[in-house]
Chains A and B, each alone.
Chain A
Amino acid sequence: MIEDDLRAAFARHEPLTPPTGPLRAAIDRLTIRRRRRRRRWQAGGTALALLGVLGLGVPLLTPERGGPPPAAELLGESARPVPPGALNILLLGLDGDGPAATRADAVLLVHIPADRSRPYLVSLPRDLGVSVPGHGTDKLNSAFPSGVGSSRPEMTKGYDLTRRTVAELTGVQVDAGVVLTYRVLSTLTDAVGGVPVCLPDQVRSVHTRRVFPAGCHRLDGAASVDLLRQRYGLPEGSQDRDRNARLFAAGLVRQATDRGILTDPVRLAKLLTVVGPDLVVSPDRAAVLNLLRLVPTLRTVEPVGLGLPVVGPTARDRHLRVDPTFAPEFLRALREDRLGEWADRHPALVDVAR
């Protein structure tokens, strides 16, 4: 019977099937390349974009452990001068309220060039395999909990280990840093009067069962945190979360601008009072506060978004790795304050905001 012959022929040719391992890796590589081409904006993580969009984010979130800063500081009469030269500010968005067992799922370097032209946002993927000083090779987002430790957990230790990890990875000196928790994010959102966000797809919270339908919303603090935590159940996981964070960040900045908060020292001071107590900063409040005085000197606050070029996981190693073709040149440009040139040479690897 011809049907039996057909079945036999198919079965006989089954051994022709090649192994799936190399194919899987090739698929992932190609997907990343196409996605990079397709994606217009790839800042990563919850708080990252939030702070990133303006670079104003940093001064906005200046620490306030001891009450509101004197107006004089805000108005730029602080004793310390703004350091000349390029600056790198490390922003960490925590997946929780810390300190223990909380990963830093958003890792962003804000690079302010010496010519003060505009801020550059360099996002470092949380799944990047990196050498964590004293802890071997691990994902970037694990450096924070490794540093925090379990005996006497302290966020500053988590920040510090992440800072050293990032410094080793990129070769740049980190001048200042800010750590954001869910609580800070929530307080900040409420303090500006809610944030408008327009979602392209419905998001269902696995934490609260809340459903965010596609379309425009004005989110309060609790809803914002809920939305920005959602990764499981989203088709593209942290990719989609990054996109939501980006939308949120744009909304936050729009809201703060509309309300004139960013340019009004009194309202800014009030905001800092509300947000302040939870905020962890490095090296100290004054240093971060100093950055506020940079803002008027920037020619534009519109940031240039750049992702560290990475390649996908291989069959043997599930971490992302730095792209051997582009990353060395990119990091050299970052160290030598030539990101503008690099962005001009590689327009395909630059985010287009909005």
Chain B
Amino acid sequence: MTYEEFADARLAPLLRYAVMLTGDPHQAQDLVQETMVRVQLNWRRVARADSPERYVRRMLTNQYVDWKRGSWMRRVLLRGEPDESLPAPADHAQSAVDRDQIWTWLSRLPRRQRATLVLRYYEDLPDAEIADILGCAVGTVRSSISRALATLRAEYVEVRS
């Protein structure tokens, strides 16, 4: 497989994945750009992997998890307005609040936990593959999912009460 073929097939899914990780189209673009430049420069090594697709996803996930907090914060401060391209909520007010709240809560999670949630509930990957991508044990994947869900549930309870 050449880099071009890989990019043709995988760039869009990777970008969607990055949007779910970062919760922000601009940061997602930066993340994918940085990763794919490295992929292209080191294509030989990437292509040797059993599954280049998974290898690149791992690169991107690590990049996201390790991303320097400094630049991250600065970007967030520069652009305050949230997601205007979102479809307007059609339901009643409380439900809309709930919906946007879950997205907001996601952004407060540690990045590794958020990545685990995205891989499990957006990409629908089995635990073993998630563990491979994050470079940890399957047990760690499960515990970080349950910890993340517990955090989200606690937020729910707080809002409802």
Q: What is the interface of chain A, defined by CB distance below 8 A to chain B?
A: 2-3, 5-18, 20, 23-24, 26-28, 30-31, 34-35, 38, 201, 234-237, 240
- In the complex, are the beta carbons of A18 and B121 less than 8 A apart? no
Is the C-beta of B131 less than 8 angstroms from some C-beta in chain A?
no
- In the complex, are the beta carbons of A20 and B106 less than 8 A apart? no
Bound: A165/B39 CA distance, A: 34
Knowing A24-B11, A34-B37 touch, does A16 contact B98 (C-beta < 8 A)?
A: no
Most buried by B among A11, A27, A35, A236: A27
Bound: A236/B4 CA distance, A: 10
Knowing A6-B121, A23-B29 touch, does A30 contact B149 (C-beta < 8 A)?
A: no
- In the complex, are the beta carbons of B16 and A17 less than 8 A apart? yes
- In the complex, are the beta carbons of A18 and B25 less than 8 A apart? yes
Give the total number of A-B pairs whose CB atoms are below 8 A apart: 96
Is the C-beta of B117 less than 8 angstroms from some C-beta in chain A?
yes
A10's closest neighbor in chain B, by CB? B122
Q: With a CB–CB cut-off of 8 A, which chain A residues contact B11?
A: 20, 23-24
8 closest Cβ pairs, A-B complex: A235-B44, A10-B122, A31-B40, A235-B43, A27-B36, A6-B121, A9-B102, A18-B25
A33's closest neighbor in chain B, by CB? B37
Among B62-70, B80-88, B132-140, the stretch in contact with A: B80-88
Q: How far is the CB of B154 from chain A (nearest CB, A)?
A: 11
- In the complex, are the beta carbons of B121 and A13 less than 8 A apart? no
Name the one of B16, B28, B33 contacting A27, with C-beta atoms under 8 angstroms.
B33
- In the complex, are the beta carbons of B121 and A27 less than 8 A apart? no
Q: With a CB–CB cut-off of 8 A, which chain A residues contact B98?
A: 5
- In the complex, are the beta carbons of A3 and B149 less than 8 A apart? yes
Bound: A69/B33 CA distance, A: 58
- In the complex, are the beta carbons of B15 and A3 less than 8 A apart? no
Knowing A6-B117, A38-B41 touch, does A23 contact B15 (C-beta < 8 A)?
A: yes
- In the complex, are the beta carbons of A17 and B37 less than 8 A apart? no
- In the complex, are the beta carbons of A16 and B85 less than 8 A apart? yes
Bound: A234/B149 CA distance, A: 45
Of the A-B pairs whose beta carbons lie under 8 Å apart in the complex, a sample of 27, sorted by A's number, is A2-B152, A3-B149, A5-B102, A6-B117, A6-B121, A9-B102, A9-B103, A10-B118, A13-B23, A13-B103, A15-B87, A16-B19, A16-B28, A16-B83, A17-B16, A17-B28, A20-B11, A23-B29, A27-B7, A27-B36, A27-B37, A30-B37, A31-B37, A31-B41, A235-B45, A236-B43, A237-B2
Give 7 new A-B contacts, CB below 8 A, not counting A27-B36, A236-B3.
Answer: A2-B153, A13-B19, A14-B19, A16-B28, A17-B16, A17-B28, A30-B37
